[in-house]
Amino acid sequence: MAGKRGPAPKPDEEKRGVRVSVYMAPAELAALDQRRGGMERSEWLRRAGLGKRLAPAIPELNREAWAALARTAANLNQIARSMNVAGRVHDADLVGILAELYGQVARLRGDLVGLDQVKDQVKDQVKDQVKDQVEDQV
């Protein structure tokens, strides 16, 4: 018989068994809901109360654009991969252009959801990808 599925049970000191109730005015609740975005109320309140990082609320329009750009990034990646696998990439400039386009799409996606750290990660990934692909061609 296979083992139990799912995450390991939390130790007793980490289990959330204490309930905290709060009364709010309708305007206060509306303001809280606007600030928390898509995050669950309980999670947002827990993080805010414990001084942990709160993700910014992301407008629906930005989420839709983020998803559309994800498809664009995937398409660019597939184009670059298929050209590389087929041995049709002989021009390092073309590889660089594809990598730069991919990087720009990824940075724009990060801007849409307010992720500054994504920019640095993408920059490093693009540099590594271009370097690897150029080395493969040499």
Residue 29 has pLDDT above 90, yes or no: yes
H/E segment holding residue 35: helix 26-36
Both 67 and 120 in one domain: the answer is: yes
Is residue 71, in this structure, part of any structural domain at all?
yes
Residues 73-77: what's their mean pLDDT?
A: 81
Distance CA(43)–CA(21), nearest Å, equals 14
Domain around 25: 21-57
Residues 102-122: what's their mean pLDDT?
A: 69
Both 122 and 75 in one domain: the answer is: yes
Both 38 and 101 in one domain: the answer is: no
Tens-digit pLDDT profile for residues 30-67: 999 888 877 899 999 999 999 888 776 666 677 778 78
Both 49 and 93 in one domain: the answer is: no
pLDDT at 130: 62
Both 27 and 80 in one domain: the answer is: no
Both 98 and 78 in one domain: the answer is: yes
pTM tops 0.75: no
CB 76 within 8 A of CB 98: yes
Residue 87 has pLDDT above 80, yes or no: no
Q: Which SS3 state, helix, strand or coil, does residue 118 take?
A: helix
Both 50 and 89 in one domain: the answer is: no
